Amino acid sequence: MNKKDIEVMAPAGSFESLMAAIQGGANSVYFGIEQLNMRARSANNFVFDDLEKIAEICGKEGVRTYLTLNTIIYDHDLSLMKRIINRAQEAGITAVIASDQAVINYASSIGFEVHISTQTNITNLETIKFFAHFADVMVLARELSLKQVKDITDGIVKDDVRGPSGELVQIEIFAHGALCMAVSGKCYLSLHTNNSSANRGACVQNCRRTYEVKDEDGNELLIDNEYIMSPKDLCTIGFIDDIIKSGVRVLKIEGRGRAPEYVKTVTQCYREAVDAYIDGTYTKEKIAAWDQKLATVYNRGFWDGYYLGQQLGEWSDVHGSKATTRKRYLGKGVHYYPKAGIAEFKLETHSLKVGDKILVTGPTTGVVEAEIKELMVDEVLYQEIKKGVTFTTPLDTTIRSSDKLYIVEDVDAPTQ
């Protein structure tokens, strides 16, 4: 086995996140455009005219591109669905991730590569055989244990189950990110309470809120301060070895609605973990370091999901993120002087001092992380500067005028 045998797939909800995924070492990215994807509401989706640019950027880096078109499809959606798939194929997008049979059938009929989404709830070998008529890659239901996953991958080899390409079907699983209380994401809570269907990409995540639970007699049930419908985030980096041994070949990171620094950090950690396993350097010390790094970006706390078969009920105990760091907006990029390796910024808010950690994000820049070594205003060095000034600082990476500047702090640090 070599490093190319295991694919790390990263989410992209914007060009910033797309570049961050590439910087993190992703082998592939998945994204949605406008409508008909499961993050149509929560992510900053791309538009039709972005498809060629996405294909061009990723093509230069050898990164595969997957368009998510995995919502429920109604008759009035069919013409739009076909238009999206046709445009994606013409643009050079690698494949479509689909769950509705209309999408699967149409994409397959025009020779566009299909990946089967987790929304189809694949839980057994016979279902793999059925979808093998259409797809080479399939995402299993999130509720399976690793033993069940291995039974399926062993069955694919034993029964020689091949997809349209003639190759053995590859299995993909979710490796990291948000989990849903519903089976493979099929939930109607948002529809019933807000007339906003999760199965149409418009979930309002009202399951993440605080609830009081009472029985018919009005007796309140003790929930131990947990958010009873909001699971902790999935994190499998501590047993990547077992996942690879189970026959999984594609590791999917959830998070198309997440910030670019989340995408880069998580992708980088999982790419490093996979490479370490293949190199024979996958150790407890490295796992601990990855765990610490993953905790710095958005998360609701971590658990192993259903893969290791533990008792269920790993609910989050907070609303929102438990990240150990936070970012605060400071200003925007002004100019970059490549010969000197100097970046110029306008500080629009707060203050900045030598030793502070900064984050720069942009559609072309992706994510740049650095520590302030020097601050200069009008050729005068300062230890600290206040909002309203334009300053320069040494930076190894090119920044652009559209880039945003943030300061990164520990969550327990006092705000300025």
Q: Output DSSP code: residue 134.
A: T
Cα–Cα distance measured from residue 152 to residue 183, given in angstroms and rounded to the nearest whole number:
19
Residue 86 CB coordination number (10 Å): 14
CA 187 to chain centre: 20
Pair 51, 69: CB distance under 8 Å: no
From its phi and psi, is residue 36 left (phi > 0), alpha (psi between -120 and 50) or beta?
left
d(CA 385, CA 372): 12
Nearest residue to 121 via CA among 6, 199, 5, 200 = 199
Task: Read off the tokens for 343.
Answer: 């970046």
| Contact (CB, 8 A) for 70 and 97 | yes
Residue 214, beta-bridge partner list: 220
Rounded-to-integer distance, Cα 54 and Cα 94, Å: 11
Distance CA 53, CA 14 (A): 12
Residues with Cβ < 8 Å from 76, sequence gap 6 or more? none
What's the pLDDT score for residue 210? 62
Q: What is the pTM of this model?
A: 0.84
**Token pair for residue 324?**
């150990």
- The pLDDT assigned to 21 comes to 98
Q: What's the rounded Cα separation, in Å, for the pair 176 and 170?
A: 19
Phi, then psi, of 83 in degrees rounded to 5: -65, -45
d(CA 237, CA 243): 9
pLDDT at 177: 85
DSSP 13: S
Q: How far is CA 43 from CA 38, 78, 102, 128, 324, in A?
A: 9, 23, 24, 30, 23
Using alpha carbons, select from 115, 125, 118 the residue that is nearest to residue 152.
125
- Between CA 87 and CA 350 the distance in angstroms is 45
| Per-residue DSSP letter, 211 | -
- Tens-of-pLDDT digits for all 416 residues of the chain? 887 899 999 999 999 999 999 999 999 999 998 777 655 555 567 989 999 999 999 999 999 999 999 888 999 999 999 999 999 999 999 999 999 999 999 999 999 999 999 989 999 999 999 999 999 999 999 889 999 999 999 999 999 999 999 999 999 999 998 776 655 555 555 555 566 555 555 555 665 566 566 666 666 555 555 555 567 888 999 999 999 999 999 999 998 889 999 999 999 999 999 999 999 999 999 999 999 999 999 887 888 888 887 655 555 555 566 778 889 999 999 999 999 999 999 999 999 999 999 999 999 999 999 999 999 999 999 999 999 999 999 999 999 998 999 999 988 755 54
d(CA 48, CA 312): 41
Give the pLDDT score at 321: 67
Q: How far is CA 168 from the centre of its chain?
A: 26
* Per-residue confidence (pLDDT) for residue 314, from 0 to 100: 59
Return the amino acid letter for 252.
K
Collapsed DSSP state (helix, strand, coil) of residue 207 = helix
The sign of the dihedral angle between the CA atoms of 271, 273, 274, 279 is: positive
pLDDT for 36: 74
Separation CA 75–CA 191 (nearest Å) = 20
Q: What is the pairing mode between strands 384-386 and 250-253?
A: unpaired
Q: What is the pLDDT of residue 218?
A: 63
DSSP state, residue 71: S
CA distances from 120 to 168, 311, 356 (A): 20, 25, 47
First-last CA distance in the chain: 50
To which H or E segment does residue 242 belong?
A: helix 240-245
Angle at 96 between CA 95 and CA 101, to 5 degrees: 135
